[in-house]
Structure 1
Amino acid sequence: MKLALCAVGRLRSGPERDLVDDYLTRFERTGKPLGFPSVQLIEVEDRKGGGMEAEADLLARATPAGAVVAVLDERGRTLSSPEFADQLGRWRDGGRDVALLIGGADGLAPRLRDRADLALSFGRMVWPHMLVRVMLAEQLYRAATILAGSPYHRV
């Protein structure tokens, strides 16, 4: 299984980068004994100003061939943390590579969103795409702790 977090934009040094790095390091430590690989963080940037369509092309090229594609989108399914952990475990157990895609400030192009295997939402509110990256990294770590039976996740 390969696990890729593909996102539009580059996180510069600062609190968001620190949080993403921290949660992905925690995920790697907790997830490795559970059969999860480290997360490959792939950042893409549309330097030509082509908008959502150009970003969709960059994200599609960054997605590992044959991977399950899960996009973060406000119109997606809202899963509980245990449900997300179960889904991640099913992908792992099925030997599936997974690409988690986060669009830019304007979201994802409909053609990319429509071809996804799963659209996930962190609620009906719109979140800054850089914070979504932090929230997703935390949920990956939380999923690993749930699958490991750790007390980090309390209901």
Structure 2
Amino acid sequence: MNPARIRIIAIGKVRKGWVSEGVALYLKRLPGLEVLELRDGGMAREAEAITAALRPEEQLVVLTEEGQSFDSVAFAQRLEGSGSVRLALVIGGADGIDPALKARASWRLSLSPMTFPHDLARLLLLEQLYRALTIQQGGPYHK
């Protein structure tokens, strides 16, 4: 996995200080990974903003509780299997992700069958991306 080939598109800003600190920590550990924050404003407007932000070369991956769940090793393998494809991982707003946008996604990812606030989902996703990178590199982070 090359962090520079991954972009997180997230609705809303991180408002909690402790979450911001965690996000900053993992972004330092994942150089090249970009996070784009979009304004919240209802599912339809958010879907339009996400669609407008997508780059032609990016494969859309939406985070949703009904998506595919992985353990950390399987997630690392799934990312490795993406090869040189650029991924846009989308975290929706309070109302979730528009069904039409979900239907366009190349794959759907679930961090858990539980629902999380968008800022906490961002932190969890970043941690799992870092864990995937260390698994692929054979590092000691994942035990």
TM more than 0.5: yes
1:69 matches 2:72: no
2:48 counterpart (49, 57, 61): 57
Equivalent residue number for residue 100 of structure 1: 89
Equivalent residue number for residue 134 of structure 1: 123
Q: Contact 1:4–1:63 at 8 Å: present in 2 too? A: no
1:39 counterpart (30, 33, 38): 33
- Where 2:66 maps in the other structure, the secondary structure is strand
The whole-number CA distance in structure 2 between the counterparts of 1:97 and 1:136 is 16
Deviation at 1:103? 0.2
Q: List gaps (5 residues or longer) in structure 2.
A: none
TM-score under structure 2 normalisation? 0.92
Equivalent residue number for residue 143 of structure 1: 132
The Cα offsets for residues 121-140 of structure 1, whole Å up to 9 and x where unpaired, read as: 12211111110000000001
Q: Contact 2:11–2:92 at 8 Å: present in 1 too? A: yes
Q: List gaps (5 residues or longer) in structure 1.
A: 29-37
Deviation at 1:13? 6.4
Q: Contact 1:52–1:108 at 8 Å: present in 2 too? A: yes
Equivalent residue number for residue 27 of structure 2: 24
The whole-number CA distance in structure 2 between the counterparts of 1:132 and 1:4 is 15
Q: Aligned residue pairs: how many? A: 140
The whole-number CA distance in structure 1 between the counterparts of 2:122 and 2:113 is 17
The whole-number CA distance in structure 1 between the counterparts of 2:122 and 2:16 is 14
Residue 7 of structure 1 aligns to which amino acid in structure 2? Answer: A
Identity fraction in percent: 40
- Where 1:125 maps in the other structure, the secondary structure is coil
